Structure 1
Amino acid sequence: MLAPSSAPTPEQGWQTAGATGNLQNLRKFNSQDFKDLRASCLSRGLLFEDATFPAHISSIGPTLLPEEKLRQIQWKRPTELQRNPYLVMDGVSRFDIMQGEIGDCWMLAALGSLTLRKQFLENVLPKDQGFQDDYAGIFHFRFWQYGEWVDVVIDDRLPFLNGRYLSVHPRTSNEFWPSLLEKAYAKLRGSYQNLNGGYLSDALVDFTGGVQVQFPLKDPPPDLEEILKAADKSRCLMGCSTSVQSRRNIELRNGIVQGHAYTITGAVKIPYKNGWKHIIRIWNPWGHGEWKGPWSDE
């Protein structure tokens, strides 16, 4: 269980159905058509370069880093980094994700939740692309915006600073779906800088087209544990976040990080001694760092 002093605020989202936007009625972001652009690049033997989100400081954002560091950023394609890159290897998992230098744990926590619900994930991550067949340096991803699905096209040039990923980086060195999806989301929002801080609930909606509900733990509903258990059973996407007490990214002795977002990966009620105990399991988008209190590995 989480200590009251560091208790996150659960946020959940689920997909709705009805006469709203659907994947057959996609809006093309910046009027860019993925298939047409890829076909054009393949016919000319060129790798796609996205003029609407260029390999330039403007795509990073003017204040994400000091000006000196912004000038040092290099852009590299996965084919320059790995001999045999893949978009997805052995399926998609939250463990593929490791947060980079950008403070977008809110988006990555929602993405971690999305990987648990494959039927939603396929809406965001189309299967008609990769590095093996018809590779032309171009990829696309889908997000829900204002009542419709939007198809966002990107090139695969990724930002590096001093040889390290500025963006999210894959745990497996030659799997690139997290980095490319993050870039598409940055493009949708205007820059990587615009991912540097946000609301987990917004990302849950953007990844599902669903409705989100938040429960502040300072004044929780009396049946919160049962709500979480039912939400998990009905396959809702769930996350939680901690408030900022003094500074962000300070890890407390119990292992929980201040000003940080997590994916809720399970909620159960278990028999314990002469009663029942509600426990939840959470995943850290950093790819490391765990709860160290009761019910932890120790």
Structure 2
Amino acid sequence: MSTTCIEMIISFYEDDGVGSPSNPEKFKGQDYEQLKESLLSEEKNFEDESFPANLDSLGKLEGMTPEQLKEVEWLRPQDLNDNPSFVVGGTSRFDFKQGAVGNCWLLSAIGALTFQETLMAQVVPPDQSFKNDYTGIFHFRFWRFGKWVDVVIDDLLPTRYGELLSVSSRSGNEFWAPLLEKAYAKVCGSYGDMVAGFSSDAFKDFSGGVHMSYKLTKKPSDLWDVMNRATQCKTMMACGTYGGEKEEATDKVGLVGGHAYAVTGVKQVYVESEDTMVNLVRIWNPWGEKEWNGDWSDKSALWNTVSSEDRVECHKKRDDGEFWMKMEDYCVYFENMDICCENPNFLDDDAACQWKCSLKEGRWEEGESAGGCDSWSDVFWTNPQFRVRVKAVEGESKGDRNVLLSLMQKPDEEHRSKVKHHSIGFTIYQVPSEAPKGHLPASLFQDTSALKISEFSEAREIIEFHSLQPGEYLVIPCTYNPNKTADFILTVYSKAETEME
């Protein structure tokens, strides 16, 4: 396989249009350049009224009493370090560690993001400093429901007894990670609104790309190949351990139960004594400490069985939260894995394919266009309908998976913790040749069986990979039960130019 993945064509915003990577929408209407220019002329430091340094922006934090929350003091980096820097020698997962906020899902995603220089520069604009024209204002960019947004913040950070409350700098003077976290907290509603989540959601917000989730107890037979291809593409990977009853067993091997980690590499090594190849996975704990203590861990004698080249490249004896483990152990102790990429190339061996992407927005409206799943036969047909024309791909074999469908629901709530996701899914029909144009009537669904019915889930996004022969299809996104009002985005990724209306 080629080590270069082709960029897919994004068709849901025009080049340089509002919401594009080069021209993000201004979150809450705040213009970073205008605000900074005004602050410079007035010789003031920025204080963000839309995300003020108070208890509302802090939110509810698990494990902290109201009295402890009142002890929080908002300080600027200059108050914490005599020589603060935005970035020192590039960005790395080893620049930061998790604090008192339970947002390991976000931090594992940030750790994975640091490997992707282009995406990192998109999310964390590099031309920011505490020295040149400093005014206490910073900005970051996230992909949010079809558009890139530019999020402005001040640099007042929550502290307690002079220490950062949440993400902290391992060196003490590098602040890109605490500031990035604050910008994401603003998008979520508060720091407390970042407690608990899925790395896949953060991956999506960092890229707008394609993500696939895997249950490791039901892993596909080619999972190692998928992970190997993923490391050669512009991918981010994360995994999570079991919680609940399995936490005690997890703790005995040095892992944290119910915790999110970043997958930071894969490597195949040759064990000379056994004349065999071993597949290894490298994993990073956003705590910046506490590591796996089993086979292939930092202290494992197995590193003496590989070549000196592999040992020098991989074996690092340091307490930094990162470790190697055998693929088989990885699939035993970790419950799930998420992979996110700007394009779906990691899913198969067709690295030369240039994927196309089409996005449409829609809405389920109670009493009008929220018919529920096909079990509600009398109103199912009222759901929004999308016709998709799939064209042939040169060299494609019958049965090759060539179309990937994503359905994402958009929340109405400003605070992430208050969002209640509906159970969503979609049904695919092959459109009969005699079908009329426009919205198809109820009679068609009484006489035609569905070609494919997705799983239904209360997740923010569901995504499935399918094999569809050239032809016209009807995709019906729906909630499981009728009369659920919500906005949604339907995205089709395909190997050939695909028309959707």
TM-score by length of 2: 0.55
1:53-92 counterparts in 2 under 5 A? 53-62=51-60, 64=62, 65-92=64-91
Match of 1:142 in 2: 141
The one-letter code sitting in structure 2 at the alignment partner of 1:207 is F
Match of 1:132 in 2: 131
* Cα distance change on mapping 1:102 and 1:142 into 2, 3 Å: same
User: What is the CA–CA distance in structure 1 between the aligned matches of 2:247 and 2:28, rounded to whole Å?
Assistant: 35
* Cα distance change on mapping 1:15 and 1:199 into 2, 3 Å: farther
2:10 is paired with a residue whose SS is coil
* Cα distance change on mapping 1:63 and 1:132 into 2, 3 Å: closer
Match of 1:24 in 2: 22
How much has 1:200 moved relative to structure 2? 0.5
1:197 is paired with a residue whose SS is coil
Match of 1:187 in 2: 186
* Cα distance change on mapping 1:157 and 1:259 into 2, 3 Å: same
- What are the ranges of 5 or more consecutive residues in structure 1 without an aligned counterpart? 1-13
Residues 247 and 259 of structure 1 are in contact (CA less than 8 Å); yes or no, is this contact kept in structure 2? no
The one-letter code sitting in structure 1 at the alignment partner of 2:287 is W
* Cα distance change on mapping 1:49 and 1:248 into 2, 3 Å: farther
How much has 1:116 moved relative to structure 2? 0.7
Deviations 1:3-40 (A, max 9, x none): xxxxxxxxxxx985412342223110000000111111
User: What is the CA–CA distance in structure 2 between the aligned matches of 1:195 and 1:15, rounded to whole Å?
Assistant: 31
Residues 158 and 164 of structure 2 are in contact (CA less than 8 Å); yes or no, is this contact kept in structure 1? yes
Match of 2:160 in 1: 161
* Cα distance change on mapping 1:294 and 1:69 into 2, 3 Å: same
2:22 is paired with a residue whose SS is helix
Q: Kindly indicate which of the two structures has a greater share of residues assigned to strand.
A: 2
How much has 1:225 moved relative to structure 2? 1.4
How much has 1:247 moved relative to structure 2? 9.1
User: What is the CA–CA distance in structure 1 between the aligned matches of 2:119 and 2:136, rounded to whole Å?
Assistant: 25
User: What is the CA–CA distance in structure 2 between the aligned matches of 1:62 and 1:294, rounded to whole Å?
Assistant: 40
1:111 is paired with a residue whose SS is helix
Residues 61 and 101 of structure 2 are in contact (CA less than 8 Å); yes or no, is this contact kept in structure 1? no
How much has 1:193 moved relative to structure 2? 0.5
Match of 2:303 in 1: none
2:269 is paired with a residue whose SS is strand
* Cα distance change on mapping 1:245 and 1:256 into 2, 3 Å: same
2:224 is paired with a residue whose SS is helix
Across the aligned residues of Structure 1 and Structure 2, the Cα RMSD in angstroms comes to 1.9
User: What is the CA–CA distance in structure 2 between the aligned matches of 1:151 and 1:62, rounded to whole Å?
Assistant: 25
Matched, 1:170 2:169: yes
The one-letter code sitting in structure 1 at the alignment partner of 2:165 is L
Residues 80 and 162 of structure 2 are in contact (CA less than 8 Å); yes or no, is this contact kept in structure 1? no
Residues 86 and 175 of structure 1 are in contact (CA less than 8 Å); yes or no, is this contact kept in structure 2? yes
- What are the ranges of 5 or more consecutive residues in structure 2 without an aligned counterpart? 1-5, 14-19, 300-501
Deviations 1:192-236 (A, max 9, x none): 011111101100111111111011011111111121111112241
Residues 84 and 174 of structure 1 are in contact (CA less than 8 Å); yes or no, is this contact kept in structure 2? yes
User: What is the CA–CA distance in structure 2 between the aligned matches of 1:124 and 1:249, rounded to whole Å?
Assistant: 37
Larger Rg: 2
Deviates more, 1:213-222 or 1:264-273: 264-273
Match of 1:231 in 2: 230
Residues 242 and 250 of structure 2 are in contact (CA less than 8 Å); yes or no, is this contact kept in structure 1? no
Higher relative contact order (CA 8 A, sep 6+): 1
Residues 143 and 207 of structure 1 are in contact (CA less than 8 Å); yes or no, is this contact kept in structure 2? yes
* Cα distance change on mapping 1:172 and 1:16 into 2, 3 Å: farther
Match of 1:288 in 2: 289
User: What is the CA–CA distance in structure 1 between the aligned matches of 2:247 and 2:100, rounded to whole Å?
Assistant: 13
User: What is the CA–CA distance in structure 2 between the aligned matches of 1:150 and 1:249, rounded to whole Å?
Assistant: 42
How much has 1:84 moved relative to structure 2? 1.5
User: What is the CA–CA distance in structure 2 between the aligned matches of 1:249 and 1:16, rounded to whole Å?
Assistant: 44
Match of 1:106 in 2: 105
Match of 1:275 in 2: 276
Match of 1:117 in 2: 116
TM-score by length of 1: 0.91
Matched, 1:208 2:207: yes
Residues 249 and 260 of structure 1 are in contact (CA less than 8 Å); yes or no, is this contact kept in structure 2? no
1:293 is paired with a residue whose SS is coil
The one-letter code sitting in structure 1 at the alignment partner of 2:12 is T
How much has 1:296 moved relative to structure 2? 0.9
The one-letter code sitting in structure 2 at the alignment partner of 1:169 is S
Percent identical among aligned pairs is 44
Residues 15 and 211 of structure 1 are in contact (CA less than 8 Å); yes or no, is this contact kept in structure 2? no
* Cα distance change on mapping 1:16 and 1:198 into 2, 3 Å: farther
